[in-house]
Amino acid sequence: MAATKLSIIGAGSAAFSLRLVGDLCKTKELAGSLVSFMDIDENRLNAVYVLAKKYAEELGVDLEFETTTSVEDAIRDSSFVVNTALVGGHSYFEKVRRISEKYGYYRGIDSQEFNMVSDYYTISNFNQLKFMYDVAKMIEKFSPKAWLLQAANPVFELTNLISRNVPINMVGICHGHHAVDHMIEVLGLDKNKVDWQVAGVNHGIWLTRFLYEGKDAYPLIDKWFEEELASWKPTNPFDDQLSPVAKDMYEFYGKMPIGDTVRNGSWKYHYNLETKKKWFGEPWGGVDSELGWKWYQERQAEVAITMQKVARYFQENPEAKLLSRETYDEIVSLAKDEVKEEFTQEVFKILDPEKKSGEQHILLVNALLNNEKVDLVLNVLNKGALPGIPDDVAVEIPVYADKDGIHPYQVEPDIPERIKKMYLMPRILRMEWALEAFLTGDRRVLEEFLIRDPRTKSYDQVVKVIDEVLGLPENEEMRKHYSNSRK
């Protein structure tokens, strides 16, 4: 057993932070650890602290908690730093999106081929890239042996940026591969009899191996599409793993896209709302349409407000038991009807004293500290794991972790050449362009992104949209960064 200090940057994202706390509480080998919550929003920070402390106390778990608004204080003496911060929040993304659409860029200039996820900005997201880079440099300075667990997007760009430029231990973490579990459930398979692998890059992973009882299980996917797809309807905007777009990508590329990869196809699926509805289903057209994203944002905001209400409830009722049915009913009653189901599910997952969240962060921490070997899917530099992909490109692949570090498994069979040449390499190039712009401060690289964009009709359009984005008050540093490069 080994206690540690784990810091969560951007801890005001209450549901995520509490999932990690729940996993810590259910990992006895990490008893005695200190969790440092860092956020600039003190109301959200306090809510997380109150709920985490209450949960640990009721489970009788030896964990300490602290809060801080200082990144440096959170990092000092940490062994692990989970960075889940979103600089400027979603409100900044919506400002950029509104400006972009004024100039003819549907869903924003950052919605690019093979990168359509609505909060995975790479062109206008200088502040996020800069903050994450600065956090990594602080880790190098104040806790050089610590591990950075990069959870906030854009994970692909950030894992490459930091791994190449800051000499610290770091890994990118995502949970998109859990979509395989959803698919197994829908297909009615016994999870214990399935052998699967995924590989690719973050938000661009593919089901390279899918066996059931030792036999190729892809025919079971084919059968489901043939018999069930015609009557399929999404249950929510995120429900797309077995959608028409997933089937179409599978038929073209030869393997199933997994998780957020389904959202990240070509323009074929994203020209406008009507197109999105055709491929992702009615009524939303997927989570990255204007309708789907509105649904998501409203629920995220309401869940955050509800978490603060729950924290106040326990402050006002200190004798209330978090794990009692009476308290559970009271907590659920605080949520509005439109988010009650999602909130109830989230609360149930967090409060279940036996089941872990499915997030990989604490599993990795326990493996590295206590040699509890665990299989994971992580973002690490390729270093030969995927033939044909440069060694210094971060790939999302199956690995195992133990006290000696993170070790890739062999990806068998390999990713098909069509996926490498027509999906992964174009996505990798866009990552390289984003890092080139950030590292050089050359505005012309930002412009080149849009010059090559099919929505662009003139160079004047490119100049005007970038000028207006740079003119936003919160982009003062970004404006200076790119001020001397235009010729």
Q: Which residues are catalytic?
A: 175, 260
CB 442 within 8 A of CB 427: no
Token pair of 32, please?
């005695």
DSSP 105-130: -TT-TT-BTTB--TT--SSS-HHHHH
Nearest 5°: the CA angle 86, 152, 358 is: 130
CB 80 within 8 A of CB 149: yes
Q: What is the distance of C-alpha 351 from the center of its chain?
A: 22
Sign of CA dihedral 312, 315, 318, 321: positive
From 85, 5, 77, select the one nearest 45 (Cα to Cα). Answer: 85
Q: Is the peptide bond before 154 cis (omega within 30 degrees of 0)?
A: yes
From 350, 334, 331, 339, select the one nearest 300 (Cα to Cα). Answer: 339
In a 13 Å sphere around the CA of 378, the CA atoms on its Cβ side amount to: 24
3-state secondary structure of 427: helix
Alpha-carbon distance 5 to 64, whole Å? 9
Alpha-carbon distance 81 to 375, whole Å? 21
Residue 460 burial by Cβ neighbours in a 10 Å radius (0-12, 13-18, 19+): exposed
DSSP 229-265: GGG---SSTT--TTSHHHHHHHHHHSS-EEGGGGGS-
Q: Residue 371: left (phi > 0), alpha (psi -120 to 50), or beta?
A: left
- CB atoms under 10 Å from CB of 43, counted, come to 14
